[in-house]
Amino acid sequence: MIAFLRFEIVRTLRNVRFIVMLIAFPVLLYLIYGKQHGVSQGLTVASLLLVSMAVWSGMGSAMFASGPQLARERQNGWMRQLRVSPISTRGWFAAKLVQAILLIIPGLVVLVALALTYGHVHMAAGRLGLLVGVLILGAVPFCAAGLVIGLMFDGQTAQVAQMITLLVLAFLGGIFIQWNSLPHAMQLIGKVLPSYHLAQLGWNAAAGRGIGLEHVAVLAAWTVGLGLIAARLWRSESSAA
């Protein structure tokens, strides 16, 4: 299992699209906007942007590891090989989850280092540790979303579906545009999305406020719901095979 997990992680890190979209892109945006002055929600622009870019990178990394990659594995026959291997279904799902969580770390480390140096973000070690923990664990429902996409579509379509889903989550969740500036109908939609609640958790942690159990509850509900859908899709495909 460890060898399988290592193989999956190395293969993903060699993907240029992963590096550009989920690490280089948020870093570039931080370099452009991270020096702006101002305070909102008790946080400087540099701190707000740190959370926003980390949420974007985390969501995308989690979905990429379990979405388009899984769809290509199904398409090229790799999944059929895994089904006859000693790896159990539960072990495979666990490996995908661990892979997605570990792939969040490179982008998060780069963004935190950039914020502390270039952005001059000052944050106590305990608060920074809480923020990192929130951002990593809060990405679990997006791993489940990636599994659903990877099990529903073929390789090319899954890639498009993942990018559209990621952009919708980012814009309606208030990652790229202030949620309060969205039209009312879009605010109502955005407020039920996991991206909105992960961003709120991150900003609360960064500001030293209570993280908000309602945000945790919504993320947990999305994780369970999407996980059940992914399990059903997996069983359907296994039965068909």
Hey, what amino acid is at 172? L
Whole-number Å distance between alpha carbons of 219 and 139: 9
The HSE-up count of residue 155 (CA atoms within 13 Å, CB side) is 9
Average pLDDT of the chain, as a whole number: 85
- Quick one: 60 exposed, middle or buried, by C-beta within 10 A (0-12, 13-18, 19+)? buried
Q: Is the pLDDT reported for residue 241 higher than 60?
A: no
Mean pLDDT value across residues 38-57: 90
- Closest alpha carbon to 135 in 107, 170, 169: 107
Centre a 10 Å sphere on the Cβ of residue 147 and count the other Cβ atoms it contains.
27
Per-residue pLDDT band for 79 (boundaries 50, 70, 90) equals: low
pLDDT digits (tens, 9 = 90+) for 81-137: 666 666 666 777 777 788 788 888 888 999 999 999 999 999 999 999 999 999 999
Q: Is the pLDDT reported for residue 18 higher than 90?
A: no
Q: How far is CA 198 from CA 7, 48, 52, 99, 213, in A?
A: 29, 13, 10, 20, 12
pTM of the model: 0.88
Centre a 10 Å sphere on the Cβ of residue 175 and count the other Cβ atoms it contains.
24
- What angle in degrees, to the nearest 10, is found between the helix axes of 45-66 and 25-33? 170
pLDDT digits (tens, 9 = 90+) for 156-176: 788 889 899 999 999 999 998
